[in-house]
Amino acid sequence: MSACVFLACLIGIYSRPIGYLSAFWPANAVLLGLLLRHPRWAASAGIWLCAMLAFVAADLATGAPWQKALGINAGNLAGVFAGWLYLSRLPEAVLYLRHQRSVLHLVAGSAVAALGCGLVGGYAGSHFLGIPLLQSVAMWTFSEFFNFILLIPVFLAAPKGWVGQWRLQEVMPALRGRPLSPSFALPLAALVASEALTLVIGGPGALGFVMPALVWCAMAYGVLPTAVINLLLYGWKTASVALGTFSFTHTHLPDVISLRVGMALLSVAPLAVACAYALRLQALEKLDHAVNHDFLTGVLTRRALLERGTKLLERMQGARAPLSLLMLDLDHFKRINDRHGHAQGDVVLRQLVHQVRQFLRPDDILGRLGGEEFAVLLPRTSCEQARSIGERLCRQLGAHPVALGDGTQLTVTCSIGLHGSDRPQPDETLSHWLSCADRALYQAKASGRNQVQSYSDDLAPMSTMEAPE
């Protein structure tokens, strides 16, 4: 932590174009972001002391007198502490940008932190640098507001763990279930083109040229990428201004305030869009799960199973790859309901699903056809392999009795019908496969239950009256 703060201080110190105030001072926001991501650190007085030492060491290493280093950095630490007091009390969903009010609280927390820096650091700046007090306070406050707004979201939106442990779908939730394609780079290309147009045309309205592209990026990439894009874009704009004729000193106070606040608030808009769009995606995912998954067992509903199973069968037909279908039915399930009640029957169904999941791969499809009947589609699995899976499942169920609510240990079994092919024919439908597996299932029940039967052409369909329970 101290090394991060020290390095951030050096970046800020060497970004001073003219005068005492840095064009960009990331150290305070970096420290606050780290404390918010690691709440236990903030409870340690040693961490705050190490942070202060890192601030002071950076100033001393670059030639600042120790009195000035202590006074100025007292303001930095005061702002971080004020921001931490406000933001650390927020609910987790609000703090980590997963709530509709998150951006409003981010703006408020950044303002509190900036004001803390301004009140303490502004007085120190006035004393050591001879700048009028009100001007010094204003310069500190609005400059730090800009810094906090740009940097804090990057820390709050980042997934847990180290960067190397992040998964792409955590960084960009919009990619869930979607492959990367060339069109994915279009929003970023539009942003680069908009910034190029800004440089060509210029003028007072140039800051807003990139806004449509930023909103597009926010909807396409998610909260963390949007926060990073904001940081890079407005950091670039600040550097461009600093390298020009603009002076970040109290003599240009109105221009400095206007530029800082304008860029800070412009960065808030795409961040708010990204948060809102992320919440929308989460709501759609929950709705999709509720529609396509059985509320009792969590597996696919019959409709979802038929839809996804049909697509899987078509893929295997096109690839000429093996496919197997297992149809499972709990033995004597009606007796379980009649004897122990439907609530205990639900427990048995969930236990069956739990046991089945242990044998499945990520690409396998499990769904509930109705009642106690389930189907499993096993892509790239031969009939022999599927039979082995079914037989192991039968043994697994028998070896793990179900604990009912009254303490009873109930041993359950299931019958399994199997249909598969090493090369599914193009004219076959999923309904045909289910019908074949259904015939094999009834044969398994007629042959004594608790076994796997494979479909063959000589299996005649059984009527409902002939089918065993």
Average pLDDT for 365-391: 94
Give the Å distances, CA to CA, from 107 to 237, 268, 271.
21, 8, 11
Query: What pLDDT, on a 0 to 100 scale, did the predictor assign at position 398?
Result: 85
Query: What pLDDT, on a 0 to 100 scale, did the predictor assign at position 465?
Result: 32
Q: What proportion of the chain, given as a percentage, has pLDDT over 70?
A: 88
Buried/exposed code over 218-243 (b: 16+ C-beta within 10 A; e: otherwise): bbbbbbbbbbbbbbebbbebbeebbe
pLDDT higher than threshold 90 for residue 136: no
Which residue carries 């009795």 as its tokens? Answer: 401
Higher pLDDT, 180 or 246: 180
Residues in a beta bridge with 452 = 416
Residue 163 CB-density burial (10 A; 0-12 exposed, 13-18 middle, 19+ buried) = exposed
Q: What is the pLDDT of residues 52-95, one digit of tens each?
A: 888 888 888 887 787 877 888 888 899 999 999 999 999 999 99
Q: What is the pLDDT of residues 260-278, one digit of tens each?
A: 888 899 999 999 999 998 8
pLDDT-based confidence at 166, cuts 50/70/90? low
Task: Select from 3.40.50.150, 3.40.50.300, 1.20.120.140, 3.30.70.270 the CATH code of 302-454.
Answer: 3.30.70.270
Three-state secondary structure call for residue 53 = helix
Query: What pLDDT, on a 0 to 100 scale, did the predictor assign at position 200?
Result: 85
- Report residue 412 as tokens: 């359950």
User: For the chain, what is the mean pLDDT?
Assistant: 86
- The two most distant CA atoms of the chain are separated, in Å, by 100
| pTM, two decimal places | 0.74
Query: What pLDDT, on a 0 to 100 scale, did the predictor assign at position 21?
Result: 58
Average pLDDT for 370-388: 94
What are phi and psi for residue 369, nearest 5 degrees?
-80, -25
Whether the Cβ atoms of residue 29 and residue 75 lie closer than 8 Å to each other:
no
pLDDT-based confidence at 19, cuts 50/70/90? very low
Higher pLDDT, 165 or 460: 165
Query: What pLDDT, on a 0 to 100 scale, did the predictor assign at position 45?
Result: 87
Beta strands in 178-219 (DSSP E): none
Query: What pLDDT, on a 0 to 100 scale, did the predictor assign at position 395?
Result: 92
Query: What pLDDT, on a 0 to 100 scale, did the predictor assign at position 18?
Result: 47
pLDDT-based confidence at 34, cuts 50/70/90? very high
Query: What pLDDT, on a 0 to 100 scale, did the predictor assign at position 464?
Result: 34
Sheet holding 414-421, edge to edge: 365-370, 373-379, 323-330, 414-421, 452-454
Give the integer Cα–Cα distance in Å for 210 and 441.
62
Query: What pLDDT, on a 0 to 100 scale, did the predictor assign at position 294?
Result: 93
Higher pLDDT, 107 or 181: 107
Query: What pLDDT, on a 0 to 100 scale, did the predictor assign at position 261?
Result: 87
Average pLDDT for 87-104: 92
Q: What is the pLDDT of residues 138-153, one digit of tens each?
A: 888 998 999 999 999 9
Residues 6+ apart with CB under 8 A from 383: 322, 324, 418, 420, 421, 422, 454
pLDDT-based confidence at 353, cuts 50/70/90? very high
Three-state secondary structure call for residue 390 = helix
Hey, CA dihedral for 25, 111, 266, 269, is it positive or negative? positive
Average pLDDT for 425-451: 93
Query: What pLDDT, on a 0 to 100 scale, did the predictor assign at position 462?
Result: 46
Give the integer Cα–Cα distance in Å for 332 and 414.
9
Degrees, nearest 5: CA angle 196-231-194: 20
| Residue boundaries of the structural domains of the chain | 2-290, 302-454
pLDDT higher than threshold 80 for residue 321: yes
Question: Which region holds residue 62: left if phi is over 0, alpha if psi is between -120 and 50, else beta?
Answer: alpha
pLDDT-based confidence at 198, cuts 50/70/90? confident
pLDDT higher than threshold 90 for residue 235: no
Whether the Cβ atoms of residue 197 and residue 178 lie closer than 8 Å to each other:
no
Task: Pick from 58-67, 126-135, 427-436 the range whose average pLDDT is largest.
Answer: 427-436
Average pLDDT for 305-318: 94
Give the integer Cα–Cα distance in Å for 55 and 223.
30
Query: What pLDDT, on a 0 to 100 scale, did the predictor assign at position 177?
Result: 55
Query: What pLDDT, on a 0 to 100 scale, did the predictor assign at position 243?
Result: 61
Query: What pLDDT, on a 0 to 100 scale, did the predictor assign at position 207?
Result: 77
